Structure 1
């Protein structure tokens, strides 16, 4: 019998290595199939963190104390001589033409009017001006000799005499005076006054009150603006289960705003979040107002780190996203009932995804310019409501560092290179009765080519189709609709019934022989509880119809608790 030498067995090590390689290879086949569940990466993880539901809040009206001019008092009795009126002429009017004003009184032409009725006609012109926002305009009958039945009405349209700032805040005078300077010498008009005061109220760290009082000249008014100290710090803490099961479902986060740190009406903001898995996120941003229209200019830096667990633990997959951003924001129209904003943003995203078990190192860079037009408003239609909408156009470029990854991308999704996308969002909260309201929301995205995961739209998550996990059914283009019937059960307690539906196409351009249109639907119940600065939101959502082949009847439970400073 031959002697056999015995060496330490390497079978367990080889088996583990082979298992990991086979797992990686098998998962790679799954990830390359369009429309199927994909491994979360830096782009998707970043999207899930930065998504949020729009906050619909009414715009508080500016605090304005107004001493209106006294209206002409008609005679106590409709007595005395009557005059056959042929028509009316006007003096002192610059806003409205003679014909426009004459049409307001055309029903009186050809009638015999008393002095009291002539005063009432002048008061009608005053009301016409004030209904169009000219708060201090006054029309009156001057002493005159009436010839051929033509009656003259003089108009004082009301101009600013002095605009005075009483600044008790920490914001510098020159910042607060910027939107007030254009008012000097102009007509006192509500929209222009509201715009100036609301722009001042938008500044962090300041609260504004104003008073209009008679000026030193006839028909003029002085505007006194008081700037009071606002909150130097603001922010909040939040706890939720909105995270991915692969990076940690339970998340604790907070944000802190330092208002007016340099006395420029500026703001320094910090945000941080961590999950019970291995995901961390930090964001630092700074913005300040510039110029006479208080254009907001800002910059931000974000960092996100993640490591995958559960089904992907053996891959030892991890990565990060680092984003440098700059932005401009300008109110095109700022009013108490409606506002319109224009924004220009630039993001430089560096996305890194590593899989240690196969020694894979993936680095991508996305440079994206976005132009956005957004609007919000409140109205009395159908019982009253609040609306918000935005339209954004993005143009960017994706670069892939690794040559092997670039070649693989060209043979498959072909995402590298220039791309553009159009995004539309619309929200409406409609009052139905004293207790019932209806909330509707639409989000859509369209693109000209296949996109990186950081630019896609997903159907699943707490702000989309709520019966599915965050990041589910991601696609290059698609849309999501939400419908909620809300009921105010008690003060601070609101319940809701909701239905969510969405469609996505996995890829704009087909590859790999399959490019399904994915649909998701859900119905559920919600509860919102608010007391002072503490808010609790809970929802339970069940899948309706096609559930992506996952065949589960268990509801998805989403919960979030927030506390505001």
Structure 2
């Protein structure tokens, strides 16, 4: 599949949270008239029949007969400025506003605070707190996703008190589908105390077909990669997603690969996904050096994987923090390492059978966004006939079928003055075992270290850093007088670095490698029809690998173009 920069963007950009009914304090004539010399106490109740209209005088401070949150020090700080002070209609309106705001900041998005008619000469005021209960859930603006499908994503029952974290979690879940974006609006319901939820959706036809080119191959199997595929975002109206891609070289005998994934959002808002691939590869004549034209090296590789993803509750201390865990299994089988910069083809297959646990998180802030992904992989070995140590050691004398490793990717996009931005990424891997090529961390190519061939180095452990200074985006079509399409052109300067090592090697082999590069690049897009990436990298470190295969140029272009509809 194309990388994230090539995949369809959301039907609508990210927006702020739900729209709540506004509550402003408006001063009217006579509101400043003093009603009481000193406010002695406040009594909060949940219904009108709990109000003593004759008034009371035996309450000092705050008495809450509704929620525990009204007994917290934080709430006492909110109302303390009113206690011991004169009372007027204006001060009561402000008190009402502050109580509503306190509830909103504590996961109750819609609350009415009513001050009923009562005798307050005793210095005590009763307030009735009415929490908004869900009335109806309605959909608006959607064309390609049914009302029933969208409204079913709200898991709060009719008549249940609205909790903002739950509602926002439901909306975020809806917006995982890239073919739509939904905003939430609270509106007053038909009955007193009810609040309706309006789902305003902007969607697009849930089928995308695309084709493109990128020079992401290698010298063994040809550098050119042509791609064609589709994304179906509402399979049979079930909100499932089906993705498929065919990747091939000009000469399909050298490289051709099929990959597909199927994503199922479950009713309890977990996600089950399956993905698989199959690749046929053949070494290009002469790619392994002189006197190798007659070698007929052909290989094939396959993978079948599954993931079960569980979104996790938000951390109260970190506003906007979202995170999830995924548990899964990978089965891979291959008889070669040609796709990973190697040049070995074996008579027999080796099977990889491993379990995967992933934790991912995202934290936005006023200056940008930080994302984290960590993977923990373990293979017990011996799970099938070709999953034994001897199968692994046919590729690497020091590899075993029983292994573990961990991988981390940390990204930060930082806003800078004048609409510039700084992007940084750290990818690191730790392992005490020798790994096969598909599990190693690879360096070289546009995804890792530009200016080098794809996966010119591999390591069981190590790290890769990428740093980009990005310019403000500009619209070429807008300058040409065409406002129909929101095209974006962005320039960048990059520095890439990688240091990778194998855990155990033969005495005559090099154990670790370091590569680094700098260069310019650009990104151009006309969403959702066109995306172009172009980078040119100059190598800062010479790479001396004397196997006749991975000899690198001093610099190179990395190009990718995707056309979609």
> Which TM-score band applies after superposition, normalised by the shorter structure?
0.7 to 0.9
Which of 259, 272, 284 aligns to 2:260? It is: 284
How far has the Cα of 1:318 moved from its partner? 1.6
How far has the Cα of 1:455 moved from its partner? 0.6
1:542 corresponding residue in structure 2: 538
Which of 40, 57, 65 aligns to 1:86? It is: 40
In 1, the alpha carbon distance for the partners of 2:392 and 2:134 equals 68
The answer to whether the aligner puts 1:363 opposite 2:349 as a matched pair is: yes
How far has the Cα of 1:462 moved from its partner? 0.8
SS in 2 for 1:151: strand
SS in 1 for 2:442: coil
In 1, the alpha carbon distance for the partners of 2:9 and 2:201 equals 23
How far has the Cα of 1:345 moved from its partner? 2.2
In 1, the alpha carbon distance for the partners of 2:199 and 2:5 equals 35
In 1, the alpha carbon distance for the partners of 2:442 and 2:228 equals 25
Change beyond 3 A, Cα 1:470–1:552: closer
In 1, the alpha carbon distance for the partners of 2:329 and 2:372 equals 21
In 2, the alpha carbon distance for the partners of 1:103 and 1:334 equals 25
Change beyond 3 A, Cα 1:428–1:95: farther
Which of 274, 289, 299 aligns to 2:274? It is: 299
SS in 2 for 1:119: helix
The answer to whether the aligner puts 1:526 opposite 2:521 as a matched pair is: yes
Greater Cα shift, 227-236 or 480-489: 227-236
In 2, the alpha carbon distance for the partners of 1:86 and 1:358 equals 85
**Structure possessing the higher relative contact order (Cα contacts under 8 Å, 6 or more residues apart):** 1
1:32 corresponding residue in structure 2: none
2:443 corresponding residue in structure 1: 459
The answer to whether the aligner puts 1:392 opposite 2:369 as a matched pair is: no
In 2, the alpha carbon distance for the partners of 1:329 and 1:74 equals 52
Change beyond 3 A, Cα 1:404–1:192: closer
Count how many residue pairs are aligned between Structure 1 and Structure 2: 511
In 2, the alpha carbon distance for the partners of 1:261 and 1:234 equals 12
Aligned pairs for 1:151-550 (under 5 A) are: 151-163=125-137, 176=150, 178-203=152-177, 208=182, 211-225=185-199, 230-277=204-251, 278-293=254-269, 295-309=270-284, 310-312=286-288, 313-314=292-293, 315-333=295-313, 337-353=320-336, 361-380=347-366, 384-397=367-380, 406=390, 409=393, 413-488=397-472, 490-491=474-475, 492-506=488-502, 508-512=503-507, 514=509, 516-532=511-527, 533-548=529-544
SS in 2 for 1:85: coil
Change beyond 3 A, Cα 1:333–1:523: same
Change beyond 3 A, Cα 1:136–1:95: farther
How far has the Cα of 1:170 moved from its partner? 6.7
Is contact 1:169–1:206 with CA below 8 Å preserved after alignment?
no
In 2, the alpha carbon distance for the partners of 1:493 and 1:90 equals 57
In 2, the alpha carbon distance for the partners of 1:490 and 1:477 equals 40
In 2, the alpha carbon distance for the partners of 1:524 and 1:396 equals 39
Is contact 1:171–1:205 with CA below 8 Å preserved after alignment?
no
Greater Cα shift, 146-155 or 315-324: 146-155
User: If the length of structure 1 is used for normalisation, what is the TM-score?
Assistant: 0.80
User: If the length of structure 2 is used for normalisation, what is the TM-score?
Assistant: 0.80
Question: Runs of 5+ in structure 1 lacking a partner?
Answer: 1-48
In 2, the alpha carbon distance for the partners of 1:521 and 1:248 equals 23
In 2, the alpha carbon distance for the partners of 1:56 and 1:301 equals 20
SS in 2 for 1:118: helix
CA RMSD across the alignment: 3.7
Which of 80, 98, 101 aligns to 2:71? It is: 98
In 1, the alpha carbon distance for the partners of 2:360 and 2:344 equals 46
How far has the Cα of 1:552 moved from its partner? 7.3
How far has the Cα of 1:57 moved from its partner? 7.2
